[in-house]
């Protein structure tokens, strides 16, 4: 039995689609845009995907941003966390620093323990 063809756009992240729509309509909220940019960049830099046991949360206070990131073992036995602060003007830089710090602290071993990862 053949499976039905996937609809156009299948596999797109619903949050990404919603963000793109709001941005296109001029309804993007600047603080949310900054947090979204920071939160999406760190997992990408870690080569994460939908099976990666990781979390990222950005909080903003005036001109400052704190990015809380964590990587978890697939079985939950270990967790590595980091908190990086920086300017709201540079969300990608803050994410980049978090993505560099986690593997330095040992997250690479947790990431490689995921099924299908080298």
Note the pLDDT of residue 117: 53
Which homologous superfamily does the CATH classification assign to the domain defined by 14-112?
A: Porphobilinogen deaminase, C-terminal domain (3.30.160.40)
Cβ neighbours, 10 Å, residue 38: 29
pTM of full prediction above 0.75: no
Q: Per-domain residue ranges for the chain?
A: 14-112
Residue 76 CA neighbour count, 13 Å, CB half: 0
Note the pLDDT of residue 5: 57
Note the pLDDT of residue 3: 52
Distances (CA, A) of 103 to 37, 71, 107, 109, 111: 21, 9, 4, 8, 9
């Amino acid at each position: 039995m053949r499976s039905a063809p996937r609809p156009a756009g299948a596999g797109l992240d619903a949050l990404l689609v919603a963000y793109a729509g709001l941005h296109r309509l001029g309804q993007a909220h600047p603080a949310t845009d900054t947090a979204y940019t920071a939160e999406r960049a760190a997992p990408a830099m870690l080569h994460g995907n939908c099976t990666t046991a990781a979390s990222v949360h950005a909080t903003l206070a005036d001109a400052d941003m704190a990015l809380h990131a964590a990587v978890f073992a697939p079985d939950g036995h270990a967790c590595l966390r980091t908190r990086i602060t920086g300017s709201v003007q540079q969300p990608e830089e803050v994410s980049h620093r978090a993505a560099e710090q986690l593997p330095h602290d040992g997250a690479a071993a947790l990431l490689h323990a995921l099924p299908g990862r080298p």
